[in-house]
Chain A
Amino acid sequence: MSEALLSCSGLTVRFGGLVALDRLDLQVGAGEIVGLIGPNGSGKTTFFNTITGLYRAAAGTARFGGAELIAMKPQAIYGAGVTRTFQRSRLALPLSVFDNLMVGNHRRLQHGLGFNLFRRAALRREIEHNVEKARLLLAAFSARLAGRLFDAAGALGMIDRRRVEICRALVSEPRLLLLDEPSAGMTHEETRELMDDLLAVRARLPALAVVIIEHEMNVIERVSQRCAVLNYGSKIAEGSYAEIAADPQVQAAYLGTE
């Protein structure tokens, strides 16, 4: 692996007396798909929240490209090219699918008051361009969904909402995508379908790095090139799926035998 895109070292997060993340070291290279697994409460989502700037780290660094994420605001981290999905889907349900995608595309839109209020022709061109872009991106997941661009997100089924959420994270062409349990609340069938779509889109974006949190081991086995296992905030194992599956410490963490 050449120069890592994301390089965390000694990352520590505390909530009061609880250590949610304990001196975590993790590297993610450009174009890599890394699975992040571990029992509930082991610190996986905390890791996402920390590198997207929602939580403050007590110690440690997270270098992304040339920037240090730990000191940055969430807005700036997004600007640097890190996007994510949420474990419990966080779409704006009353807004249309298109609007939801455009929330994700914020950094590529113009927000000046003068532009938005008085330069309607230019704004119109920008909107039409983005409608096309959104349609293409959605179509890569589902042609049917692309036809529902102006339906409210709340009218969609669970799997379509997940697709929209992933598209929202992809539309701004990030360099690092963080997926927080994309299979939560879906059937095996739906999960497999979603992963197929994801891998297909991924194949067209070879530089995109992905970190995926998953409980479904067959999903991890299928999509990830490398896995890291967390338990009580610490990394207890790292390696290929086969390696970590054979690791006695990992088995102990999952079965609860100490």
Chain B
Amino acid sequence: MNIGLFGQYVANGLMLGVIYAMVAVGFTLFFGVLDVIKFSHGDVLTVGAFAGLATYIGLTALGFTSPWAQLFVVILVATAAMAVLGALIARYLVLPLRTSPPLNTLLLTLMLGSALRECVRLFYPQGANPKPFPRLLPQDSLALGSFSLRLDNALLLLGGLAAIAGVHLLISRTRLGLAIRAVAQDGETARIMGIDFERVVLLTFALGSALAALAGVMNGLYYNEINFSIGLLLGVIGFSAAVVGGLGNIYGAILGGFLFAALQTIGAVALPAAFPQLPSAYKDVFAFAAVIAFMAWRPTGLIAERSAERV
């Protein structure tokens, strides 16, 4: 394999990794504060991407065509809308089920994801078809020998890393972050210490959902196409990544995201090399089989979950 192709694979893998990591961080945050898995997370990402697309179309219709300004508004609207949606979901669907078995929350959010997905398919104009996503970033590319680095990809990668770093700073350096960590550590005690539990939960869900919206927009910018079902796969992958890293741990989620992307990229490269007659479409089969095998090996992830059950 030549260097150029190799570079391409690495760039592609990193790009996938950063998107997966962003989704995985959301899962990990929610699990941290409420010990729940919000399966609809991937579909919030879809809705975010479509909200971004609709904003773009609206702006263009209004004659507002500067790409940078468009990009800014698209991201702003998508993240803000999903933050609100995330908080609403937490308030009206997730919190009321706090006292029922954890499986019910899982089921409810699974169904909610299904509902969101269907809403996009049914109610977005021609939502069942893939939609072109605008190229809002500069399309120049930088030639490095036989490998050409596209500027938009580099920007997306940097943007994604910046967003993750931002969330990390927020969690580790601010008062809100402290409150989130306190609730994650022990909700009851945090409440006694005067932390507004419900507010922290809602803000955490808003934060995670905004991050998912950003990931959705980035995904659109990268592939220049979105469809109503991207969220299902990204949700499962993001959840896998969070689990592989160790639920409740932000570093684990980031690690898991890049690991999963590496796995997929290796699958895409190594499988055809090892079994030439095997179509490359098997790469997802390979990736999921790897996740299942991994879970059998390390059931609680690379960086293990906080504590064992109290007897």
Contact = CB atoms under 8 A, between A and B. Distances in A.
Contacts of B311: 45, 49, 54, 86
A146 B311 CA distance: 28
Contacts of A54: 311
Nearest to B310: A88
A206 B126 CA distance: 79
A54 B309 CA distance: 11
Interface string A82-116: 00001000000000000000000000000000000
Name the interface size band of chain B: under 10
Nearest to A49: B311
Interface string B274-311: 00000000000000000000000000000000000001
A86 B311 CA distance: 8
Contacts of A49: 311
Name the interface size band of chain A: under 10
A86 B310 CA distance: 11
A2 B272 CA distance: 73
Interface string A46-63: 000100001000000000
B300 to A, nearest CB: 16
A79 B226 CA distance: 59
B102 to A, nearest CB: 16
Nearest to A54: B311
A108 B311 CA distance: 25
A45 B311 CA distance: 8
A49 B311 CA distance: 8
A49 B308 CA distance: 13
Contacts of A45: 311
Nearest to A86: B311
B99 to A, nearest CB: 13
A48 B311 CA distance: 10
A54 B311 CA distance: 9
Nearest to A180: B311
Nearest to A52: B311
A45 B310 CA distance: 10
Interface string A129-141: 0000000000000
Nearest to B309: A54
Contacts of A86: 311
Interface in A1-58: 45, 49, 54
B189 to A, nearest CB: 15
A106 B246 CA distance: 36
A26 B1 CA distance: 68
A21 to B, nearest CB: 14
A130 to B, nearest CB: 27
A235 to B, nearest CB: 21
Nearest to B307: A15
A73 to B, nearest CB: 15
Interface string B227-259: 000000000000000000000000000000000
A27 to B, nearest CB: 24
A13 to B, nearest CB: 13
A49 B310 CA distance: 10
A45 to B, nearest CB: 7
B188 to A, nearest CB: 14
A138 B238 CA distance: 51
A162 B311 CA distance: 16
A181 to B, nearest CB: 13
A54 B308 CA distance: 11
- 4 closest A-B pairs (Cβ-Cβ)? A49-B311, A54-B311, A86-B311, A45-B311
4 contacts: A45-B311, A49-B311, A54-B311, A86-B311
